[in-house]
Chains A and B, each alone.
Chain A
Amino acid sequence: KAGVTQTPRYLIKTRGQQVTLSCSPISGHRSVSWYQQTPGQGLQFLFEYFSETQRNKGNFPGRFSGRQFSNSRSEMNVSTLELGDSALYLCASSFTGDWAFFGQGTRLTVV
């Protein structure tokens, strides 16, 4: 069974640009959550999608958005990138209310 796949693995962007990250959950999983990890703040919850609906949202500015498609694949978008957005972005999928499976993450560097 394939794990959670995140693409791309590494990304370098310039301040002011926007970026889209992708997450393909484990087959059959309908819940996808996104997290940001930085050295200063650690891991922080961004948002969670379930059956194409955003079910929960963390405390991040509106520049951070996401969506989920009918096949459960999810994308997150960050607009008007800032240096502080440099981080490891992780997604996790779960079936419903059980074990969370994490992807390898996308390391975003904003220069």
Chain B
Amino acid sequence: KNEVEQSPQNLTAQEGEFITINCSYSVGISALHWLQQHPGGGIVSLFMLSSGKKKHGRLIATINIQEKHSSLHITASHPRDSAVYICAVSTGGGADGLTFGKGTHLIIQP
């Protein structure tokens, strides 16, 4: 069974700061997902990675397969980035049997 660890659990930062959230997993995967969950429950998929690095706007996700580690970075953070960020790993791609981290609760203060 894959164990997914995220750090930090909680993070409060000032607007404009560079944010890093980390995710480690215990066994080999086919893909790693970064998800964003706002109050109210809806989840948005931010990235799906199997290697390297992806960028979308102010968000950057990286993965190191050898070290079984991924990071999500937010540049020029904004209060609207406040949300729970969840790392999830899969062995079959897509939404098949995802194993989730506990999430990182991020608050960006103006």
Dominant SS among interface residues on chain B: loop
CB distance from A5 to the nearest CB of B (A): 12
- 1/0 per residue, CB under 8 A from B, across A79-102: the answer is 000000000101011111111111
- 1/0 per residue, CB under 8 A from A, across B87-102: the answer is 0100011111111111
* A interface list, Cβ under 8 A from B: 31-33, 35, 37, 42-45, 48, 55-56, 58, 88, 90, 92-105, 107
- 1/0 per residue, CB under 8 A from A, across B29-52: the answer is 000010100001111110010000
Q: Cβ of A90 and Cβ of B43 under 8 Å apart?
A: yes
Q: How many residues of B contact A (CB 8 A)?
A: 23
| Closest B residue, CB atoms, query A35 | B98
Q: Cβ of B48 and Cβ of A101 under 8 Å apart?
A: no
Q: Cβ of A100 and Cβ of B94 under 8 Å apart?
A: yes
- Complex formed: what's the CA distance from A98 to B50 in Å? 11
From B42, B45, B48, B100, give the contact of A43 (CB < 8 A): B100
